[in-house]
Structure formats: C-alpha cells, structure tokens
Amino acid sequence: MKNLLDYLQSELKEFIEPKFRAKQIYEWIYKKNAKSFDDMSNLPKELRENLKQNYYIDPLKKLKSEQSKDGSIKYLFELKDGKTIETVLLPMKSETVDEDGKITQHARYTVCVSSQVGCKIGCAFCLTAKGGFVRNLSAGEIVAQVLYLKNENNIPYERRVNVVYMGMGEPLNNLENVAKAVKIFTDNDGLAISPRRQTISTSGLSSQIKKLGEMNLGVLLAISLHAVNDELRDKLMPINRAYDIASVMDAVRNFPIDMRKRVMFEYLMMDGVNDHLSDAKTLVKLLHGIKAKVNLIYFNPHEGSEFKRPSPENMVKFQDYVCAHGVTCTIRQSKGLDISAACGQLKERSRVE
C-alpha cells in the first residue's frame, strides 16, 4: 500500500477520475482532518473502496509525547517500517484575550520536522548522528508530522504554523522529498503554508544549496555554521572537508531570497571552543555583503558530549560585537531543553527508552 500523503494534488489527478475528486480528497485530508476514507462522504463508494485497498493516510503512530515547562512538546513517532523519528511543537506566542474575552492575539506555533531517520553528517556536537543514518523520509512522512501536530493540538485550519526543517537529518541530503513536502504544504487546497513560513536548514552542502536555489521554491534558508575557520569546522562538522566555508558562502551569495527576508546563520556556541571575541570578528568579515541574520545558540548538553555551554556573559559580548558591526544578531533561548527537544538533542529512540 502507498501513502496518499506522498502525492501532490497534480499527481492525484493523474490517476483519480474525474479529476475534481483529487481536490476533494485533498480538502478532506488537510482541511477537514479526515481520519479514514470512510469519512470522505462526498466521494463515491467505489472510489472510497479503491482508495482503502491501495492507500493509507496514517504513516505515523505516536509512541510518546513529552511537554516541557516552556510549553514545547516533543513527539516520538513510529513509522510503518518500525523506525522512529522525533518532532517538536514550539509555542512562539501565547493567545491573549481582553477583559471582554475577545482574542487580541492568536497563539503562534513552529513545527520542527525531521527529514531523515538518523543523519550521516556526523557533527561532533549533535546527538542525532550518534545512531548513524538509516533512511530518508518520504514527502508524506514529512507532511504527516505537521498534519498530526496541528490536529493533536487543535490548531485551527486557518491558523498557519511555521515549519522548520531542523529536526533529525540533513534536509539537503533528502532534497527531492523535502522539496516535494514544501510544495504539498504550499497547496491552497492543503495546509496552505506559505513558502515564506518554511525554513530549510543545512549543514552547508554547497552543491545542494545551489540546486535548492534553482528550484526557486521561495523558502527561507538557514546555514548551520558553528565555526568561522575551516580547521575548527573540519573537527566539528566533517562535512566541511567536502564543502568548506568559502564554498558555503559562495552558494549563499547566489541563493534567491525574498528582499524582505535574510539568510539565517545558526551559530552553536560552545564554551572555550568558538565563543571568543576573535571568532565574532571573523564572522562579521565572512558575512560581508550577505543579507544575514545570526542566531547564537547555547550548546545543549547531552550524555557523552565533550562540550559545555558558554557563559551568558560571553554570549552577550559576542552578540554585541556582531550587532555593532551591522549584522542582525540574536541569542536564541533553547526551547524544550528539559525534555531533550532542543537543537542537537533529537534522535531515533526505542519504544522503551
């Protein structure tokens, strides 16, 4: 059987007759939260039976969820083949109401999705890579993560979420399926999530950044930089030996970006490793001529790691220098740290773990 979530609406029209039924199916799945083909009451019974025999719409089985004190929720999902992935729902803004009970601000969420089971990049500071690479996720398995979290948390259809491809895996090592997921999310008869609400993060695969740019999907780009010289980056991120910093910067300079947006550079700060003022100075030079935003991230500790969190003082000094030299720079407060849902802490897990 095949996962119906793997298909673009245009692909459904190739084997669903008459073609308008494809739009109805899309609306049942993405707008009306249909849990089975039997729920699709305006489809002919014969079509529903055919769909039941050949397709499914539930590629994920929730094994576990944990809620952080900051409201973040980490989900452990089992896939059809028994492999597991983790997905995180991040509350960005809380709902507020006035004295009359009228909503003055709707809650806003970001979903951090996984694109692979495991990861082959092998970053020294990341827990995901410790279990090695298992396989790519299909487009439908990526899409299902957002669909499940919206349904599970009663996020109304009209409330759009942000999607960040920053969970397990290197998205650009699964570019075809990630790009297809972007298109499925964007479909107005589906979840209608604008590409500008979708951010693809990469460890710096220069050739793939170029291919992503040529697709002109309209998504935002985030670069996991984490070091400002090749010697250190080689140690932290072995992928740098194939794609050095110069090649990454060249690819970024040629990446199409909305004039209102910036390329995000993620910089994971590790005590005594890459948090010196000299690193900040080099970073500013690297970003010259790039419309960039730097996100400084505290290293998130995990068992067996040799690295430590930097001091808040060093974080602020680093930020102040970068900002003073004309580059937008923020310090990201990691969400979900207490439930191992922060950056670099996701991994494939067993049922009993």
Tell me the catalytic residues: 86, 343
Stretch (H or E) spanning 295 = strand 292-298
Long-range contacts from 192-197, C-beta under 8 angstroms, 24+ separation: 192/160, 193/146, 193/160, 193/161, 193/163, 194/160, 194/218, 195/219, 196/220, 196/258, 196/261, 197/160, 197/161, 197/162, 197/163
* Cα angle for residues 148, 7, 25 (degrees, 5° grid): 70
Annotated binding-site residue? 126 = yes
Q: Please, which residues bridge with residue 223 across strands?
A: 202, 265
CA–CA separation, 152 vs 293, rounded Å?
33
* 247 annotated binding-site participant: no
Q: What is the dihedral of CA 334, 147, 169, 72, to 10 degrees?
A: 20
Residue 224 annotated as binding?
A: yes
| Contact present, 26 and 189 (Cβ < 8 Å) | yes
Q: Are 197 and 161 in contact (CB under 8 A)?
A: yes
Residue 170 assigned as binding residue: yes
**Any known ligand binding at 169?**
yes
12 annotated ligand binder: no
Is 123 labelled a binding residue? yes
Q: How many residues does the chain have?
A: 353
C-alpha pair distances (Å), 238 with each of 62, 121, 126, 204: 33, 7, 12, 11
What is the Rg, in whole angstroms, of the alpha carbon atoms belonging to the chain? Answer: 21
Work out the end-to-end distance of the chain between its first and last CA atoms, rounded to an integer number of angstroms: 30
Residues at the annotated binding site for S-adenosyl-L-methionine? 169-170, 201, 224-226, 300
Residues at the annotated binding site for [4Fe-4S] cluster? 119, 123, 126
Residues at the annotated binding site? 119, 123, 126, 169-170, 201, 224-226, 300
